[in-house]
C-alpha cells in the first residue's frame, strides 16, 4: 500500500496521535491519511425465478459462487453502482427491490451493502471479471465450504454470502411476494 508519502506534497508521513489513534500524518502540510473501509455494493438478483450467482475469478474467494458485487465509485450512488456491476458481471439490467443488509467487520477493509433485485432486461452472461454466471434454484444452491486457509476477508465474505442468500430466500417466502 502506497501510504508512506503525503498525497498532497510527497513528504514522508509520520505517525501521530489524532482523535484517539495513531495515524499517518504529513509533518509538512498536515494531511492525514484516514483509513476507511471501501463501500461495495452487492445484488441478489432474481432472474426467471432463480438466483443469479457468478463464479468469482479474483481474490477474495476466487473460485467461489457469489452474488455480483463491486466497489462503489465516486460520482455514483450505491444503488447505481450495484446496477452497473450487475450489468458488467452478469449482463442483466436490474431493478433494486430493497436493502438486505449492511455488513462490516473490524479487520476487513470493505463494507458491503447488499440489495435484493430482479432483472428487467439483458441476457445472462459472465462478464470480464466473472468466471461464469448461472441461475440457481433457491433451494438447490451450491454448497461451499468455508475457506480453510483463507484470509480474514475470505472468511468474512463467505459468511456474508451465506447470510445474504438466507435473507434473500426469506424475502421470497414472504406472503404476497
**Does residue 3 belong to the site contacting Zn ion (CB under 5 A)?**
no
Applying CB under 5 A, does 99 fall inside the site for Zn ion? no
- The three-state secondary structure class of 109 is coil
Q: Please, how many CA atoms are within 13 Å of residue 132, restricted to the half-sphere of its CB? A: 8
- Minimum CB distance to Zn ion smaller for 28 or for 172: 28
Q: Which of 16, 31, 95, 172 binds Zn ion (CB under 5 A)?
A: 31
If one asks whether residue 24 binds Zn ion (CB under 5 A), the answer comes out as no
- Decide whether 8 or 57 has the Cβ nearer to Zn ion: 8
3-class SS of residue 149: coil
φ/ψ region of 78 (left if φ > 0, alpha if ψ in -120 to 50, else beta) reads alpha
Please tell me whether residue 7 binds Zn ion under the rule CB under 5 A.
no
**DSSP summary character for residue 114:** E
Question: Interface with Zn ion includes 152 (CB under 5 A)?
Answer: no
**Closer residue to Zn ion (CB): 26 or 45:** 26
Q: Which three cell numbers stand for residue 166?
A: 438466507
Amino acid at each position: 500500500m502506497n501510504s508512506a508519502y503525503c498525497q498532497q506534497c510527497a513528504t514522508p508521513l509520520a505517525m501521530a496521535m489524532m482523535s484517539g489513534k495513531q495515524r499517518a500524518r504529513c509533518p509538512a502540510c498536515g494531511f492525514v491519511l484516514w483509513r476507511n473501509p471501501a463501500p461495495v455494493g452487492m445484488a441478489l438478483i432474481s432472474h426467471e425465478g432463480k438466483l443469479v450467482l457468478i463464479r468469482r475469478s479474483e481474490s477474495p474467494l476466487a473460485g467461489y459462487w457469489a452474488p455480483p458485487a463491486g466497489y462503489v465509485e465516486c460520482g455514483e450512488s450505491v444503488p447505481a453502482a450495484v446496477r452497473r456491476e450487475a450489468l458488467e458481471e452478469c449482463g442483466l439490467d436490474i431493478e433494486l427491490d430493497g436493502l438486505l443488509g449492511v455488513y462490516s467487520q473490524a479487520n476487513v477493509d470493505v463494507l458491503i451493502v447488499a440489495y435484493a433485485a430482479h432483472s428487467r432486461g439483458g441476457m445472462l452472461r459472465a462478464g470480464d471479471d466473472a468466471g461464469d454466471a448461472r441461475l440457481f434454484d433457491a433451494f438447490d444452491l451450491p454448497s461451499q465450504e468455508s475457506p480453510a486457509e483463507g484470509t480474514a476477508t475470505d472468511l468474512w465474505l463467505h459468511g456474508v454470502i451465506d447470510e445474504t442468500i438466507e435473507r434473500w430466500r426469506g424475502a421470497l417466502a414472504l406472503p404476497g411476494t
